[in-house]
Chain A
Amino acid sequence: MYYDPFVLPFMIGLNILCIYLVVTYVRWIRSFSRADRHTILKNMISIKTLRACKEIFLESLVHHKIYRTSPFLGYMHMCFGLGWFLLIVVGKIESLVYHTSLFNPPYFAIFFRFFHPANEAFPHSNVFAFLMDLILLMILSGLALAWFKRLYSRLLGMKRTTRHRPFDRLILTVLWLIFPVRFLAESFTSGSRGGGSFLTHSAGEFFASFLPVESLSYPMWWVYSSVLGIFFLLLPFSRYMHIPTEMVYIFLKNWGVKQGRKFTAISKFQLYACSRCGICIDQCQLGSSLGLTTTQPVYFLKKIRHHEDYSQEIDNCLMCGRCENACPVDLHLNLLRLSQRKDYTHITKNTYTYIPAPRIPKARVAYFAGCMGHLTPGVIRAMRQLFEKAGIEYTFIDEQNGICCGRPMMLSGNYNAASIVVERNRTAILNSGAEILVTSCPICYTTFKENYHLNLKIMHHTEYIAQLISQGLLHPHASELRTVFHNPCELGRGNGICESPMQVLQAVSRPVPTKYDGKKSLCCGGSLANLHITPTQRSRLSEDALNAYLSYHPDVLVTACPLCKKTFAKNHHTVPIKDIAEIVAENC
């Protein structure tokens, strides 16, 4: 029987951790709505589970999304994630090959070198020893990088690392101790009794030359078991809770549980699945332009978790989605923020009785300019021109007496009020009998898609113009203008429309590629979702974004959102800022 009292700390820690996790997760899952639980049951035995396993491998172990931000950082996380995983798996296989029984105690594989210091050879024992040393080396190299990162976090492609509480620092130290201690324990054992491979064997011989390794090795195994045990005990109360939680979250996500606008059990999973990697920090323009460093998701989620005051952070977010787009754990950061915004208006159906019932002429295509569209008459003029050129019969929903689409209200948490406005617009759109609804405003576009439940084709004018061109209804000529495209948050990141604007721009100009193309675009600063920053701060943010684009020296800065256009144009007058519809209309 393989047993030694030193395994106790490890076993106690592991068991308590497992019980704690199971109890917590079961409690959370039980609070899911009936519909969610039904979805889970329906999708549990399907291809989706396999997909989740693949995602867990890629995200939780290989961390392939972090590679996008920085290969160094990706490698570092992979060393820990994949390294530790392999250490366990290969170690287990090794112990099985040796022991040939499937049921050896869990600690046997972990402390294999203690119980089996290579006194007897077994099939491929050298290969296993080599592999285990290689994996340990991989982890240690990741550890070295982590140290390095603390010192020179700028070198790794990130400007700031996350600020930690003292408790976090404690568990970080424990985590960092685990592998060096394992290395020492194995080396000392190898030094006194043989075994190991290129790493631990050589190190063992080296230590044996000047240390009493014989008497040191046993205490070292005690230390190793203890740090593991302590790590397991501290884990639920630290950020490392993300390791198990992320895996469960990936399953739930793949089984179809969605984050809605309320804070529910799935939000809790996300809260704890945040690894505090800090990748969101550098994405946030509130930080880079305004020096606000408490509102980024990593801090926001932490404050919710630790029940600190986060009332200001609730309001202080542009919901630009830049952090969400970069988050390697794929958290729904915008919705999480929104779930904290409360409805405090006292608006009833009667409040808006002043809105007249619209009388809309019928047509196959309906056009909705939106509030912001009306603030930039040039965009509406261009759209009218294009409809006419293409010979399209259309009806202009909000030509007169137009009202807001409701999204600004939703973004402030006031869904109740929004639903009334939505109903008004919805009736108008349905009365028009249109099959296609074209809008100039990406904000309206999002609402129409998400909240209006319309049974017709909804298109942003960029998509529509691209379609008109490909159908041969519009024949723009290519101009010599150098254009840089600013993809509006709600269009590119929010709705994934990145191709159409590029096709259109290529047809009418010479677009200059930038590092802000597609989903990496900046926020113009005009976002209605931020309820906190002042107009002066907005201007500074938008100036920074504008300058980033203008560093590519375009003749025209093109965007596809009237709000972006207005925001940029407010502070700037030398380079023209135009909507994509205007550029096309000018070249038709």
Chain B
Amino acid sequence: MNNIWGFTISSARVIDYDKNDRSFAQYMTDTVPSSQLCIGCGGCTATCTAGALTDFNIRKLQMLVKRGENREAGEQMHKCMLCGKCLLVCPRGVDTRRMIFAMLKYIDNQKL
């Protein structure tokens, strides 16, 4: 039926906001309100110590959490070395490092 419009939806690529668990995202917004200020510029990722060596991407990590893709986020975040560089370059004053702490704590509690 989708073919009427000339494209199909590959279910593997669908992000279903209604089904995803957004409690993690809500928790992050509550504990680190500045996470809402992110404009996705990627400055944090460009400077990231861990990101320079592996595919760890702090900007993407934020996005994953906001979309409720918690499992993937949980697998990624431990790669961060907590060095704090991202915090210093963010033009929007997002408390990236504290966000990671918040995530780690959440994961520790939830055993995601």
Chain B residues 46 to 78 lying within 8 A of chain A, measured CB to CB, are 47, 49-50, 52-54, 56, 78
Q: Is the Cβ of A355 less than 8 Å from the Cβ of B82?
A: no
Q: Is the Cβ of B105 less than 8 Å from the Cβ of A344?
A: yes
Contacts of A532 in B (CB 8 A): 98
Contacts of B79 in A (CB 8 A): 351-352, 354
Contacts of A535 in B (CB 8 A): 34, 87, 90, 93-95
Q: Whole-angstrom distance between the alpha carbons of A403 and B34 in the complex?
A: 27
Q: Is the Cβ of A570 less than 8 Å from the Cβ of B82?
A: no
A375 on interface, CB distance cutoff 8 Å: yes
Question: Smallest CB–CB gap between B58 and chain A, Å?
Answer: 14
Chain A residues 505 to 560 lying within 8 A of chain B, measured CB to CB, are 526, 528, 531-532, 534-536, 539
A306 on interface, CB distance cutoff 8 Å: no
Contacts of A531 in B (CB 8 A): 97-98, 101
Q: How many residues of B contact A (CB 8 A)?
A: 30
Q: Whole-angstrom distance between the alpha carbons of A535 and B108 in the complex?
A: 25
Evaluate whether A375 and B47 lie within 8 angstroms (CB atoms) in the complex, with A344-B108, A346-B78, A403-B53 already known. Answer: yes
Q: Is the Cβ of A567 less than 8 Å from the Cβ of B81?
A: no
Q: Whole-angstrom distance between the alpha carbons of A346 and B98 in the complex?
A: 17
Q: Is the Cβ of A421 less than 8 Å from the Cβ of B81?
A: yes
Q: Is the Cβ of A526 less than 8 Å from the Cβ of B82?
A: no
Q: Is the Cβ of A408 less than 8 Å from the Cβ of B82?
A: yes
Question: Smallest CB–CB gap between A47 and chain B, Å?
Answer: 43
Q: Is the Cβ of A409 less than 8 Å from the Cβ of B104?
A: no
Q: How does the 8 Å CB contact mask read for A309-353 relative to B, with 1 for contact and 0 for none?
A: 000000000000000000000000000000000001111000110
B88 on interface, CB distance cutoff 8 Å: yes
Nearest to B52 among chain A residues (CB) is A401
Nearest to B107 among chain A residues (CB) is A346
Contacts of B49 in A (CB 8 A): 371, 402-404
Q: Is the Cβ of B108 less than 8 Å from the Cβ of A409?
A: no
Nearest to A526 among chain B residues (CB) is B88
Q: Is the Cβ of B85 less than 8 Å from the Cβ of A371?
A: yes
Q: Whole-angstrom distance between the alpha carbons of A74 and B64 in the complex?
A: 57
Question: Smallest CB–CB gap between A405 and chain B, Å?
Answer: 8
Most buried by A among B47, B49, B52, B93: B49
A356 on interface, CB distance cutoff 8 Å: yes
Instruction: Return the contact of A412 from the options B34, B78, B82, B107 (Cβ within 8 A).
Output: B82
A303 on interface, CB distance cutoff 8 Å: no
Instruction: Return the contact of B84 from the options A351, A408, A536 (Cβ within 8 A).
Output: A408
B38 on interface, CB distance cutoff 8 Å: no
Q: Whole-angstrom distance between the alpha carbons of A526 and B97 in the complex?
A: 12
Chain A residues 556 to 570 lying within 8 A of chain B, measured CB to CB, are 563, 566-567, 570
Q: Is the Cβ of A356 less than 8 Å from the Cβ of B81?
A: no
Chain B residues 97 to 112 lying within 8 A of chain A, measured CB to CB, are 97-98, 101, 104-105, 107-108
Q: Whole-angstrom distance between the alpha carbons of A567 and B84 in the complex?
A: 12
Instruction: Return the contact of B82 from the options A375, A404, A566, A567 (Cβ within 8 A).
Output: A404
Nearest to B102 among chain A residues (CB) is A531
Q: Whole-angstrom distance between the alpha carbons of A567 and B33 in the complex?
A: 21
Contacts of A395 in B (CB 8 A): none
Q: Whole-angstrom distance between the alpha carbons of A355 and B79 in the complex?
A: 10
Contacts of A344 in B (CB 8 A): 104-105, 108
A414 on interface, CB distance cutoff 8 Å: yes
Q: Whole-angstrom distance between the alpha carbons of A140 and B94 in the complex?
A: 56
Q: Is the Cβ of A528 less than 8 Å from the Cβ of B47?
A: no
Nearest to A344 among chain B residues (CB) is B108
Evaluate whether A355 and B53 lie within 8 angstroms (CB atoms) in the complex, with A346-B107, A347-B78, A531-B101 already known. Answer: yes
Chain A residues 384 to 435 lying within 8 A of chain B, measured CB to CB, are 401-404, 406, 408-409, 412, 414, 417, 421
Question: Smallest CB–CB gap between B15 and chain A, Å?
Answer: 26
Nearest to A531 among chain B residues (CB) is B101
Instruction: Return the contact of A534 from the options B34, B85, B104 (Cβ within 8 A).
Output: B34
Q: Whole-angstrom distance between the alpha carbons of A539 and B47 in the complex?
A: 20
Q: Is the Cβ of B88 less than 8 Å from the Cβ of A375?
A: yes
Q: How does the 8 Å CB contact mask read for A366-390 relative to B, with 1 for contact and 0 for none?
A: 0000011011000000000000000
Q: Whole-angstrom distance between the alpha carbons of A42 and B112 in the complex?
A: 50
Contacts of A534 in B (CB 8 A): 33-34, 93, 95, 98
Q: Whole-angstrom distance between the alpha carbons of A402 and B48 in the complex?
A: 11
Question: Smallest CB–CB gap between B97 and chain A, Å?
Answer: 7
Evaluate whether A354 and B108 lie within 8 angstroms (CB atoms) in the complex, with A408-B83, A414-B82 already known. Answer: no
Instruction: Return the contact of A570 from the options B88, B101, B107 (Cβ within 8 A).
Output: B88
Contacts of B105 in A (CB 8 A): 344
Q: How does the 8 Å CB contact mask read for A283-304 relative to B, with 1 for contact and 0 for none?
A: 0000000000000000000000
Q: Is the Cβ of A403 less than 8 Å from the Cβ of B81?
A: yes
Contacts of B50 in A (CB 8 A): 354
Q: Whole-angstrom distance between the alpha carbons of A412 and B87 in the complex?
A: 15
Q: Whole-angstrom distance between the alpha carbons of A406 and B81 in the complex?
A: 8
Contacts of A566 in B (CB 8 A): 88
- Extra contacts, 14 of them, besides A534-B95, A535-B87 (Cβ < 8 A), are A345-B104, A346-B108, A352-B79, A355-B53, A356-B53, A371-B83, A374-B85, A375-B89, A404-B49, A404-B82, A408-B82, A409-B82, A531-B98, A563-B88
Using a CB–CB cutoff of 8 Å, the interface residues on chain A facing chain B are 344-347, 351-352, 354-356, 371-372, 374-375, 401-404, 406, 408-409, 412, 414, 417, 421, 526, 528, 531-532, 534-536, 539, 563, 566-567, 570
Q: Could you pull out 21 A-B pairs where Cβ atoms are within 8 angstroms?
A: A344-B108, A346-B108, A352-B79, A354-B50, A354-B53, A354-B54, A371-B84, A372-B88, A375-B88, A401-B53, A403-B49, A408-B82, A414-B82, A526-B88, A532-B98, A534-B34, A535-B87, A535-B90, A535-B95, A567-B88, A570-B88
Using a CB–CB cutoff of 8 Å, the interface residues on chain B facing chain A are 33-34, 47, 49-50, 52-54, 56, 78-79, 81-85, 87-90, 93-95, 97-98, 101, 104-105, 107-108
3 cross-chain pairs, A with B, having the tightest CB-CB distances, nearest first: A354-B54, A535-B93, A404-B81
